[in-house]
Amino acid sequence: MEKRTSKKFWRLPEFMKDNRMRIIALFMLGLAIISDGLAFFVSPLTGVFVLILVIIITVVGYTMLKHLKEETSEYISDLSYRLKRGRQDSLIRMPIGTIFFNDDYEVEWINPYMQRYFGKEDILGKKINDIDPTLMEIFKNHQSDKKSQQVKWNNHVFDLMIQDDIGVAYMMDVTHYAEIQEKYDNSHVMIGQIFLDNYDEVSKAMNDKDISNLSNFVTSALSDWAKEFGMFLKRVDEDHYIMIGYTGTLAKLEQHKFEILDRIRERTVKSNSPITLSIGIAYGEDDLNELTELSQSNLDLALGRGGDQVVVREVKGQARFYGGNTNPMAKRTRVRARVISQALSELLKQSDQVFVMGHKRPDMDAIGACLGIRRIASMNGKRCWIVLNKEHIHSDVKRLLDELDKYPEIKDSIISPTEALEKITANSLLVLADHSKPSISISHDLYEKLANRCVIIDHHRRGEEFPENPILVYIEPYASSTCELISEMFEYQSRDSEPINSLEATAMLTGIIVDTQSFSQGTGTRTFDAASYLRSMGADLKMARHLMKESESSYMQRNHLIDRTEFIGNIALCTGEDKKIYDSVIAAQAADSLLQVSGIQATFAITRRDDETVGISARSDNSINVQIIMEKMGGGGHLANAATQIKDITVAEARERLLAILKADDEPQDATED
């Protein structure tokens, strides 16, 4: 009786403490009472039977629910114990390195799996920096990362996750999977095309025996190089090879800076038959046809930049350049000039009108080239418009425009970009002179309108930015100037038409003089031939000197820049004032002047061009490739003559960026990435 009257006996079972269960129980009890009452109303015997049945069901249900509750509680208790035990064992036994550390980065606890990477060394209580400075640096670099990061430490690769709030680092060794991933990444196919830049030119002056010896040497050298790096090489023409390899091999080739270029050039120079190579390599795609097309495009880019270099590019990636350490070799025949001249004539005849424009802030070479194209168009009976923004021109161009007052027909052909956009038709032709980058054209909108009706005539090395669908391209990096290239075209134009006049010849000759620094740099025999032709057509040297004269303010500004020069080893660096705007021609003249200093191999003039832009003019004596340096800063040019313009930067910041590139490149001419 004591048990039955105790509080524990009459206490509600655990499962009845749930409100939902109590409601259900009360509902079932009420339903049972009502059912039993109705049964007594029908018959006392039926009522008694129903009552006994309800009692039996209630007792059985209570017993089963109580037993179920006990089993559930036991299961949860066991599961909690197992989870707690598993959590503890996971820190100790699972293959995940775990390190607990305090705010001073002292090791408070380390699991056995992680301890094996430290050997038998006792690291508890020691600072991580004292144990392994590299690991300390890794922890600090990734302590705020919200996701796991893959890191390399102690010749292993780990997935690292740091919970900085509780001071714990988890490190999972994924070296095996990283090696598999690396092997997979290195097994993709890369296709390269090799071209002997000047094989035809060199072999023309050789007998059959010497040609055979030269061919055998080059093929043997390339075959040994391919075998050394495990590549397949096949000769497809006298001056053309194709190679196939893996991306893992490509990484090694880039690491060695494609030394095969120097090896063949140096060996052939000694035998008085200098041969240079151009290579275009593509990777990153399983479609071999697409890789082949891209490798050819990369080879074209290498040749357009003057040859003797390698262009490596991943599909939909940026190009990387190697080599380009020599000036392009001048061609010895005028076949290409004749072909281009005739092709241009055909295009002019198929067009209703022509637009020609140079680059922004055009120099005399760009303006002279535009006047030359206008005259060629006139020889073919077509109206040509010279697109020029007169608000942004140099003093020499202003003097030339003043002289054009004597030639109203030419003067009336010079229009603004806005007027050009109003005049264009679907059958108009656009000529980009002295540049091949649409972004630096005088009117980018005009280019966009005539992108599929575009001709390019330029002497600068081709960059990665290039029109997609030009209908004619004439880029010869060997030429001293664009005016030289256009001067050669006149010989193959109609003799019945009106020839180039004295002022046009003077403007083109001035362009050649400016770009060659009075025939002292970048000249060849054809440069003097072009100058001789222009003189025969009435070019006036006295007027050319007048056009090139600089104003008093320009002269003082140039000397001011030179006065701010600092000499760093074999490099001269002059930096203008950040709040002062300098003319780009003055900066270029300052860089040219500094190159005359004994022992100086490269010069850089950093000046502000406008409120948003800082420009750098770079010059060298050919021993340093300033084109590569300027390309790293978003510009371009030639091996010995290059420049760049940078937006939203101070002169001091541009100087620091340039110095960082010069410091990082022991041999700046070797390689760059665009």
For residue range 581-595, what is the model confidence (pLDDT) as tens digits? 888 778 888 998 898
Q: Which of 523-532, 552-561, 599-608 has the lowest mean pLDDT?
A: 552-561
Residue 673 banded pLDDT, cuts 50, 70, 90: very low
Distance, in Å, from the CA atom of 674 to the CA atom of 661, rounded to the nearest integer, reads: 14
Residue 81 banded pLDDT, cuts 50, 70, 90: low
- Tell the CATH topology of 189-323: Alpha-Beta Plaits (3.30.70)
In the CATH scheme, what architecture does the domain 94-181 have? 2-Layer Sandwich (3.30)
Residue 325: predicted pLDDT: 64
Q: How does pLDDT run across 373-398, given as a tens digit for each residue?
A: 999 999 999 999 999 998 878 888 99
Q: Which of 16-20, 24-28, 476-480 has the lowest mean pLDDT?
A: 16-20
Distance, in Å, from the CA atom of 324 to the CA atom of 310, rounded to the nearest integer, reads: 8
Residue 622 banded pLDDT, cuts 50, 70, 90: confident
Decide if 475 contacts 458 (C-beta within 8 A): yes
Please give the biggest Cα pair distance in the chain. 141
Break the chain into its structural domains and give their ranges: 2-90, 94-181, 189-323, 344-548, 553-673
Q: How does pLDDT run across 535-579, given as a tens digit for each residue?
A: 999 999 999 998 888 777 778 888 888 999 999 989 999 999 988
Decide if 322 contacts 258 (C-beta within 8 A): yes
The two tokens of residue 544 are 């050319």
Distance, in Å, from the CA atom of 321 to the CA atom of 311, rounded to the nearest integer, reads: 5
Q: Mean pLDDT over all residues of the chain? A: 85
Mean pLDDT of 653-657: 93
Distance, in Å, from the CA atom of 492 to the CA atom of 473, rounded to the nearest integer, reads: 18
Q: Where are the beta strands (DSSP E) in 208-276?
A: 232-237, 240-246
The one-letter code for the residue type at 310 is V
Residue 581's nearest CA partner among 392, 340, 387, 383 is 392
Higher pLDDT, 61 or 231: 231
Higher pLDDT, 430 or 99: 430
Residue 4 banded pLDDT, cuts 50, 70, 90: very low
Distance, in Å, from the CA atom of 458 to the CA atom of 356, rounded to the nearest integer, reads: 13
Mean pLDDT of 202-206: 82
Q: Is 637 left (phi over 0), alpha (psi -120 to 50) or beta?
A: left
Residue 400: predicted pLDDT: 92
On the CB side of 41, CA atoms within 13 Å amount to 6
Residue 292: predicted pLDDT: 92
Residue 501's nearest CA partner among 403, 434, 429 is 403
Q: How does pLDDT run across 127-181, given as a tens digit for each residue?
A: 888 888 888 888 888 888 888 888 898 889 999 988 888 888 888 889 888 888 8
Residue 403 banded pLDDT, cuts 50, 70, 90: very high
Angle at alpha carbon of residue 666, lines to 663 and 667, rounded to 5°: 125
Concatenate the DSSP letters of all residues of 418-486 into one string: HHHHHH--TT-EEEEES---GGGBS-HHHHHHTTTSEEEEE-SPP-S---SS-SEEEE-TTSS-HHHHH
Residue 415: predicted pLDDT: 94
pTM of the model: 0.63
% of the chain with per-residue pLDDT over 90: 35
Fold agreement (94-181, 344-548): no
Q: Is residue 93 over pLDDT 70? A: no
Residue 192 CB burial class (10 angstroms; 0-12, 13-18, ≥19):
buried
Q: Is residue 207 over pLDDT 50? A: yes
Look at residue 160 and give its three-state secondary structure.
Answer: strand
Residue 90 banded pLDDT, cuts 50, 70, 90: low
Q: How do 277-283 and 309-314 pair as beta strands?
A: parallel
**What CATH number matches the domain at 344-548, 3.40.50.300, 1.20.120.1750, 1.10.10.10, 3.90.1640.10?**
3.90.1640.10
Mean pLDDT of 249-268: 89
Angle at alpha carbon of residue 668, lines to 602 and 319, rounded to 5°: 125
Q: Which of 92-96, 311-315, 392-396 has the lowest mean pLDDT?
A: 92-96
Class level of CATH domain 553-673: alpha beta
% of the chain with per-residue pLDDT over 70: 91
Q: Is residue 9 over pLDDT 60? A: no
Q: Which of 49-58, 90-99, 272-281 has the lowest mean pLDDT?
A: 90-99
Distance (Å) of CA 221 to CA 217, 225, 258: 6, 6, 13
Residue 666: predicted pLDDT: 53
